[in-house]
Amino acid sequence: MKVTFHGHSCFEIAHNGTRLLIDPFITGNPQAKIQADALHPDYILVTHGHGDHVGDTVAIAKRTGATVIASAEMAGWLGQQGVKAHGMALGGGYTFPFGHVKMVPALHGSGYEVDGQIIYMGPAAGFVLTLDGKTLYHAGDTALFSDMKLIGRKAIDLALLPIGDNYTMGPEDALVAAEWLGAKHVIPMHYNTFPLIEQNGERFVEELSKKGIKGSVMKPGQELAW
């Protein structure tokens, strides 16, 4: 299994011949080292409806025929755009050919701007993926919330956590989240893309190590064998 970081909150997962893409904000992402048309996912997972997470979803899905996994509300809108989508709701899970996906809460907004109008895209969410017995948690954009203790009832092998602050939890809260989740390995995300969310990822990883938690700072384009 291979995890590739494409900047901000966008990750690509290659697993048993299937490619998953999460929050594909590529065009307009100053961190991205790849062009959207170079990505060929089989499935796209979108945590919520903000532009820096929906990103290139529609264009990529139309080009590749990928199925988009998102909130039921977002899936309905995507269907209107001619995209194949699988809608889910908070607390729900579904077993896909590649593995199991559970949609879990995130404390954040979720509205997408089209022609100056904000379209409600359902609740913000995170995803817990179970792939061959390994568990990956992409928290999406979220504040720290105590139900992370419940998400961590099944130990999280790899947690992708925002640390940017201002719009999401910052490094201090993300350290607490990592503990509550029982995370074995944490990768920080959603930071240093814009001035408002500048953080020190290396310092965050150092603080994780003091708590006995492995952390890795991934640079855009970097791959992690997992």
Domain ranges of the chain: 2-225
CATH architecture of the domain 2-225 equals 4-Layer Sandwich (3.60)
- Mean pLDDT over each residue of the chain, to the nearest integer: 97
Q: How far apart are the first and last CA of the chain?
A: 5
Return d(Cα 77, Cα 80) in angstroms, integer: 5
pTM for this entry: 0.97
Q: What's the pLDDT tens digit per position in 160-190?
A: 999 999 999 999 999 999 999 999 999 999 9
- Reported as type and span, the H/E element at residue 186 is strand 185-189
Return d(Cα 30, Cα 18) in angstroms, integer: 27
Return d(Cα 90, Cα 70) in angstroms, integer: 10
Q: What's the pLDDT tens digit per position in 135-165?
A: 999 999 999 999 999 999 988 999 999 999 9
Return d(Cα 206, Cα 213) in angstroms, integer: 9
Residue 214 near residue 185, CB atoms below 8 Å: yes
User: Position 87: which residue type?
Assistant: G
